[in-house]
């Protein structure tokens, strides 16, 4: 089945056709590492991960690059305040970011380029733009990109160039939307830049690269002139991505990205999350509040990436229950007794149908809500089939296992839930002992003692389940 994606550039659902068959080159705008990433950032990063996982799931040979912005107004400001260089200052936040990614089960990408490692290529890139008449050094010493030199400027956002003031200059990174003007490619080094070791020599004097330039150069350097997909948050459409297109296409003469996908910003407890409102929250804080990473993942995947998503504690609790249902199902499948005398089931059909529905949902512009529905429908039907049969065929059990595992390679819910529930051997031994004690108590019908033990375990997030084959236990969030 073909994958269709909503392309911001065409404003339509387009068939995903990479430049080279079977290969997918993806570039995603990563975080500016001057602070902790918050839950809103992770809606985008988790979407990147979903794209990454699904393209691989479909068999593409994926080359995925996500930058970590380490040179811009904010990192320099932070470094100066901290009395360190941008390199030192951003390293800690880069590490914290990658740690959060790992917690949430975000699969590592192929490269995490940082601007400071690409100063040489950036200088070359600017040189090419000046030679071809797309950039100029101004009286203030900075090098600017000439918007008027690129006729397609404004195409991505769909803005009317005539209505824009062209010719004025913007030297700061903190961009101004709806006010397209020539933007800086190379900035004259300020005193702060020097203090933060964020200044380099160039043919145009001491300075540093402009933010928009960084992404163009890193993507082209790492992935070639034309990308198959470029991902980012909705706020980046203009001017950041518009500028990337202008720079890259002017420099290479080739189409920059075949598809542009943008994630909508989320709401937090019904409100926009922003620093001015003081209501942004980090992954770490949520974990401290006791929410599991799989619950966070589930809630963020619960709504389609282009639609509104209101991230709430209440929703997180609902997600926790949903994830537990999956884990319970996975446990059941793993421990399921199989045999030849089994009753015939239609588990093969249930499995195939579920996987088809799942793939169809994902192919439809990554419709995760629909994909989750396919997963949970599968869980219900398989559970019912298990209940109806005394024993199932091993091949049927395996079909279910494979489909569950297959879906989770994309969704990563079980994977993350398992990782956060790992138990050490000592604990397992202790629990087994307690279960034996309880079994003895039950055998002599001393239910008060039995319930006491169950409560003791429950206090440690260990839940018991008495079944036909004895008592099983599990760790819950």
Q: Give the chain's end-to-end CA distance (angstroms, integer).
A: 37
Among the listed residues 96, 281, 377, 391, the single contact to RNA using CB under 7 A: 377
Q: How far apart are CA 27 and CA 42, in angstroms?
A: 16
Residue 362, number of CB atoms within 10 A of its CB? 24
Q: Does 177 bind RNA (CB under 7 A)?
A: yes
Q: Does 309 bind RNA (CB under 7 A)?
A: yes
Contacting RNA within 36-95 (CB under 7 A): 37-38, 40-41, 43-44, 72, 74
- Minimum gap (Å) between residue 350 Cβ and RNA: 12
Q: Which candidate, 11, 103, 105, places its Cα nearest to that of 306?
A: 11
Q: Does 380 bind RNA (CB under 7 A)?
A: yes
Q: Give the binding-site size for RNA (rule: CB under 7 A).
A: 79
In degrees, rounded to 5, the angle at the alpha carbon of residue 256 between the alpha carbons of residues 250 and 260 is 135
Which is closer to RNA, CB of 257 or CB of 324? 324
Q: Does 379 bind RNA (CB under 7 A)?
A: yes
Q: Does 165 bind RNA (CB under 7 A)?
A: no
HSE-CB of 70 using CA atoms within 13 angstroms: 28
Among the listed residues 2, 467, 469, 470, the single contact to RNA using CB under 7 A: 467
Dihedral, CA of residue 420, residue 463, residue 285 and residue 111, to nearest 10 = 20
Q: Does 267 bind RNA (CB under 7 A)?
A: yes
Contact 258, 227 (CB under 8 A): yes
Contact 440, 452 (CB under 8 A): no
HSE-CB of 216 using CA atoms within 13 angstroms: 29
- Minimum gap (Å) between residue 287 Cβ and RNA: 19
Among the listed residues 36, 111, 313, 325, the single contact to RNA using CB under 7 A: 325
Contact 282, 39 (CB under 8 A): yes
Q: Which candidate, 171, 153, 175, 170, places its Cα nearest to that of 162?
A: 153
- Minimum gap (Å) between residue 77 Cβ and RNA: 11
For RNA, what does the binding mask look like between residues 341 and 370, x meaning CB under 7 A?
Answer: -----------------------x--x-xx
- Minimum gap (Å) between residue 290 Cβ and RNA: 16
For 26, the 3-state DSSP assignment is strand
Q: Does 372 bind RNA (CB under 7 A)?
A: yes
Q: Six-digit token pair at 152?
A: 């397609």
Q: Does 175 bind RNA (CB under 7 A)?
A: yes
Among the listed residues 21, 139, 160, 174, the single contact to RNA using CB under 7 A: 174
Among the listed residues 303, 347, 350, 457, the single contact to RNA using CB under 7 A: 303
Which is closer to RNA, CB of 37 or CB of 217? 37
- Minimum gap (Å) between residue 272 Cβ and RNA: 3
Laid out side by side, the sheet with 267-268 consists of 271-272, 267-268, 310-311
For 257, the 3-state DSSP assignment is strand
Q: How far apart are CA 4 and CA 156, in angstroms?
A: 19
Q: Which stretch binds RNA (CB under 7 A): 113-121, 131-139, 194-202, 311-319?
A: 311-319
Which is closer to RNA, CB of 41 or CB of 247? 41
Q: Which candidate, 135, 116, 109, 119, places its Cα nearest to that of 50?
A: 109
Which is closer to RNA, CB of 96 or CB of 377? 377
Q: Does 464 bind RNA (CB under 7 A)?
A: yes
- Minimum gap (Å) between residue 11 Cβ and RNA: 9
Among the listed residues 310, 348, 398, 406, the single contact to RNA using CB under 7 A: 310
Contacting RNA within 221-250 (CB under 7 A): 232-236
- Minimum gap (Å) between residue 26 Cβ and RNA: 14
Q: Which candidate, 218, 221, 231, places its Cα nearest to that of 257?
A: 231
Q: Which candidate, 30, 27, 200, places its Cα nearest to that of 123?
A: 200
Which is closer to RNA, CB of 201 or CB of 440? 440
- Minimum gap (Å) between residue 445 Cβ and RNA: 8
Which is closer to RNA, CB of 132 or CB of 317? 317
Q: How far apart are CA 350 and CA 29, in angstroms?
A: 39
Chain CA centroid to CA 262, Å: 12
Q: Which stretch binds RNA (CB under 7 A): 13-21, 134-142, 268-276, 285-293?
A: 268-276
- Minimum gap (Å) between residue 324 Cβ and RNA: 7
Contact 266, 276 (CB under 8 A): no
């Amino acid at each position: 089945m073909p994958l269709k994606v909503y392309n911001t550039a065409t404003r339509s659902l387009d068939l995903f056709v990479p430049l080279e068959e079977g290969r997918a080159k993806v570039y995603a705008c990563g975080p500016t590492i001057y602070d902790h990433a918050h839950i809103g950032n992770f809606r985008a990063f988790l979407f990147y991960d979903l794209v990454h996982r699904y393209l691989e799931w479909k068999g593409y040979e994926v080359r995925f690059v996500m930058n970590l912005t380490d040179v811009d107004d904010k990192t320099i400001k932070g470094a100066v305040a901290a009395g360190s260089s941008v390199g030192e200052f951003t390293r800690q936040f880069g590490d914290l970011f990658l740690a959060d990614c790992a917690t949430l089960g975000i699969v590592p990408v192929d490269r995490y380029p940082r601007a400071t490692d690409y100063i040489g290529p950036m200088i070359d890139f600017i040189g090419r733009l000046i030679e071809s008449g797309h950039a100029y050094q101004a009286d203030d010493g900075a090098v600017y990109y000439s918007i008027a030199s690129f006729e397609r400027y404004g195409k991505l956002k769909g803005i009317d160039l005539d209505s824009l003031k062209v010719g004025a200059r913007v030297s700061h990174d903190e961009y101004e939307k709806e006010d397209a003007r020539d933007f800086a490619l190379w900035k004259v080094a300020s005193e702060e830049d020097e203090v933060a070791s964020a200044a380099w020599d160039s043919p145009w004097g001491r300075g540093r690269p402009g933010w928009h330039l960084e992404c163009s150069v890193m993507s082209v350097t790492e992935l070639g002139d034309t990308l198959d997909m470029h991902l980012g948050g909705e706020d980046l459409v203009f001017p950041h991505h518009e500028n990337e297109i202008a720079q890259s296409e002017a420099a290479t003469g080739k189409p920059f990205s075949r598809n542009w996908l943008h994630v909508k910003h989320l709401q937090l407890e019904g409100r926009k999350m922003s620093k001015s409102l003081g209501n942004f929250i980090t992954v770490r804080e949520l974990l401290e509040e006791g929410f599991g990473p799989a619950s966070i993942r589930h809630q963020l995947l619960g709504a389609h990436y282009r639609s509104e998503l209101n991230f709430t504690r209440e929703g997180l609790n609902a997600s926790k229950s949903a994830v537990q249902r999956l884990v319970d199902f996975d446990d059941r499948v793993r421990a399921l007794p199989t045999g030849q005398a089994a009753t015939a089931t239609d588990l093969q059909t249930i499995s195939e149908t579920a996987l088809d529905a799942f793939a169809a949902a994902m192919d439809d512009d990554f419709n995760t809500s629909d994909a989750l529905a396919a997963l949970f429908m599968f869980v219900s039907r398989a559970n019912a089939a298990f209940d109806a049969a005394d024993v199932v065929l091993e091949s049927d059990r395996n079909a279910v296992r494979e489909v569950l595992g297959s879906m989770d390679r994309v969704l990563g819910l079980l994977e993350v839930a398992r990782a956060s529930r790992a138990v050490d051997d000592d604990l397992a031994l202790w629990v087994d002992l307690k279960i034996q004690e309880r079994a003895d108590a039950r055998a002599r019908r001393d239910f008060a003692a039995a319930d006491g033990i169950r409560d003791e375990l429950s206090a440690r997030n260990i839940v018991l389940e008495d079944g036909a084959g004895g008592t099983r236990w599990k760790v819950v969030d």
